[in-house]
Chain A
Amino acid sequence: EPEVTQTPSHQVTQMGQEVILRCVPISNHLYFYWYRQILGQKVEFLVSFYNNEISEKSEIFDDQFSVERPDGSNFTLKIRSTKLEDSAMYFCASSWTSGQPNPSTDTQYFGPGTRLTVL
């Protein structure tokens, strides 16, 4: 069964450095998402991406964050100048459709996550 993959599994960085987290969504999916989960807390939506542009974003997704689909397979999250509070697990997700009444086509499938540690 196809799965979302993410690299690296763990990233350690110094405060103020830029990081890029990478995701390979399921191949025929059209909608892509980033979520984060601070240790012991709930999963929080960051951004959704469709047709090469951001379609929805949360208040967490400020100017320090950006997303890109640089080629036909990868979907990346960049944090320009990391802060201590950016330390979290970052999950990528993808779906075929979104907001449609058709069962299963808009289910979001999550990747295994990248644990980001900012020192």
Chain B
Amino acid sequence: GENVEQHPSTLSVQEGDSAVIKCTYSDSASNYFPWYKQELGKRPQLIIDIRSNVGEKKDQRIAVTLNKTAKHFSLHITETQPEDSAVYFCAARGYQKVTFGTGTKLQVIP
């Protein structure tokens, strides 16, 4: 089955700096890669996603890149703000099952 690795597990950045979270996946059949933000005690919220026919996608301060050949995908947050502090999960999906990474706890220091 699919295996998603995520790094780093924790990340502290100064407000205004950029944050990068990296993931790898194992199943070449995966074709959809969502990123979720989860605040403490709350549901995972989809923040951005990318499909296998696209190499990069941007939405304001958030961007994702996908390298299908290397099975790598990354989340980039620019101009970080304190409200970006949360746990971020990458995920990969083939048909229905979404396999999540282990999460990155992002702390943005004011």
Contact = CB atoms under 8 A, between A and B. Distances in A.
Interface of A: 31, 33, 35, 41-45, 48, 50, 55-56, 58, 91, 98-99, 101, 103, 106-113
B51 A103 contact: yes
Given A33-B96, A58-B97, A42 B44 contact: no
Given A43-B44, A91-B43, A103-B51, A98 B101 contact: no
Contacts, number: 58
A107 B44 contact: no
A99 B93 CA distance: 8
A97 B9 CA distance: 32
Interface of B: 31-32, 34, 36, 42-46, 49, 51, 53, 89, 91, 93-103
Nearest to A48: B96
A41 B87 CA distance: 11
Given A103-B51, A107-B46, A109-B46, A45 B98 contact: yes
A43 B35 CA distance: 12
Contacts of A111: 43
A91 B44 contact: yes
B96 A56 contact: yes
